[in-house]
Amino acid sequence: MMGLCESDAGGWTAWPPHEHAEKREEVYVYFNMGNAFGVQCFIEFTIVIENSNIKGESNMNLSITISSPGSKFAPIVLQGEYITQIYKAKEIGYKAVELHIRDPKTINHSSIMQAIKENNLSVSAIGTGQAYVDDKIYFTSIDKKIRSAAVQRIKDQIDLASKLNSKVIIGTIKGILPEDKNGRVVAIERATACLKECAEYAKYKKVNLVLEAINRYETNFLNTAKQTVEFIEKIDSSVIGLHLDTFHMNIEEKLIGQVIKEYSSYLAYLHFADSNRLSPGLGHLNFSEIILALKEINYNGYIGVEALPLPDPYSAAKQALSCIVKLCN
Ligand code: LER
Ligand code: MN
């Protein structure tokens, strides 16, 4: 689509309604904008992932979490406007990013894809927890409208993931369970139906979902690797894998390395944070044992650093990278 757009100074707008390369390529020429004029081009492209392995014998890939500002969800290392943070991730030395997005319909896909491409980065996964934390939508809700909104949100994330060639994390959006036994059974059935619908759509879009085990202080639904794997088996979809997070495992599991090995055939994604949710090496988790277990199972998926941005985002991101690279070598 092409357009000639007459406007005022600073008024970048085009008519008829445009979509910034969601479905078509577009070119606009802006004129009569004071002493400025502009040419704007949008072109659809898909990001092709190149493997970005940490040096050493292992085949592990490290990714850093990024989210837009203003979310109540705290353990994200790089917070702020996506494009700036993408450049920062590259500058610090990461080859992949994990993007936490509240609602993909409210962000500019093309400019994010452009920044990812310019920096030769991969997108390991899209984090979806903000939908639960900030918008209160989740799969176990008693309210059909809330459940449908949660499913639709994940479908929108799947659409974006198919362009970014990334996975979609199903974490806190799965929700919580009521206390009574019957209520729990019904809530699990609701979550099952929601996840099945998302999985079917993901399969159609050739996107993989990863289901995260989260500790008991954040949810009472799927806390351990065992519970999560049993649920994955029940859903019975080829596109859902197990997502483990060392911070949650430290609370829920007896031996982290052993659990990684036990469920290796399901393991599709990892979050790394230390016992205190700081970057690896700043708490008391035994990351050499964890890396050893990952090497033993020949894990070749991504490890997303999902840690608090402390003492500051730059130091937290650097600390995680140097700690893990050192342990992998
Ligand atoms: C929640 O604590 C968490 O670990 C996130 O990855 C959830 O999406
Ligand atoms: Mn996590």
Per-residue pLDDT reduced to its tens digit, 7-27: 665 555 555 555 555 556 777
Q: Which ligand is nearest to the CA of 244?
A: 2
Nearest CA to ligand 1 atom 2: 214
Confidence of residue 3 (pLDDT cuts 50, 70, 90): confident
pLDDT at 22: 52
Candidates 212, 218, 252, 289; catalytic one? 212
Cβ of 171 below 6 Å from ligand 1 = yes
**Looking at the domain assignment, is residue 7 inside a domain?**
no
Confidence of residue 303 (pLDDT cuts 50, 70, 90): very high
pLDDT at 26: 73
What residues are paired with 97 via a beta bridge? 64, 123
CATH number of the domain where residue 298 is located: 3.20.20.150
Confidence of residue 50 (pLDDT cuts 50, 70, 90): very low
Neighbouring residues of the ion ligand 2, judged by CB less than 5 Å: 245, 271, 306
Cβ of 172 below 6 Å from ligand 1 = yes
Is the pLDDT at 30 greater than 80, yes or no?
Answer: no
**Looking at the domain assignment, is residue 4 inside a domain?**
no
Per-residue pLDDT reduced to its tens digit, 154-176: 999 999 999 999 999 999 999 99
pLDDT at 51: 34
Q: Are 141 and 196 in contact (CB under 8 A)?
A: no
Range from 10-19, 113-122, 265-274 carrying the lowest mean pLDDT:
10-19
Task: Indicate the helix (H) or strand (E) that contains 33.
Answer: strand 26-33
Give the separation between CA 115 and CA 126, rounded to whole angstroms. 16
Confidence of residue 41 (pLDDT cuts 50, 70, 90): low
**SS3 state of residue 307:** coil
pLDDT at 2: 77
Cis bond leading into 16, ω under 30°? yes
Domain count, the chain: 1
Is the pLDDT at 45 greater than 60, yes or no?
Answer: no
Is residue 253 among the annotated active site residues?
no
**Looking at the domain assignment, is residue 197 inside a domain?**
yes
**Token pair of 66, please?**
């990024």
Place of tokens 């974490």: 171
Q: Which ligand is nearest to the CA of 174?
A: 1
Cβ of 271 below 6 Å from ligand 1 = yes
Per-residue pLDDT reduced to its tens digit, 182-197: 999 999 999 999 999 9
First to last CA, the chain: 51
Q: Which domain holds residue 91?
A: 53-328
CA–centroid distance, 44 to ligand 1, in Å, is 31
Residue of 47, 50, 97, 56 lying closest to 77 (CA atoms) = 97
**Looking at the domain assignment, is residue 245 inside a domain?**
yes
Provide the 8-state DSSP code for 167. Answer: E
**Looking at the domain assignment, is residue 111 inside a domain?**
yes
CA–centroid distance, 38 to ligand 2, in Å, is 43
Q: Cα–chain-centroid distance for residue 224?
A: 20
Percentage of the chain beyond pLDDT 90 is 79
**Residues composing the chain:** 329
Cβ of 241 below 6 Å from ligand 1 = no
* Nearest ligand 1 atom, CA 127: 8
Candidates 98, 252, 253, 306; catalytic one? 306
Cβ of 252 below 6 Å from ligand 1 = no
Nearest CA to ligand 1 atom 5: 171
pLDDT at 55: 40
**Looking at the domain assignment, is residue 13 inside a domain?**
no
**Looking at the domain assignment, is residue 35 inside a domain?**
no
CA–centroid distance, 107 to ligand 2, in Å, is 22
Cβ of 245 below 6 Å from ligand 1 = yes
CA–centroid distance, 209 to ligand 2, in Å, is 14
Cβ of 98 below 6 Å from ligand 1 = no
Confidence of residue 48 (pLDDT cuts 50, 70, 90): very low
**Token pair of 207, please?**
């996107």
**Looking at the domain assignment, is residue 26 inside a domain?**
no
Q: Are 95 and 52 in contact (CB under 8 A)?
A: yes
Is residue 306 among the annotated active site residues?
yes
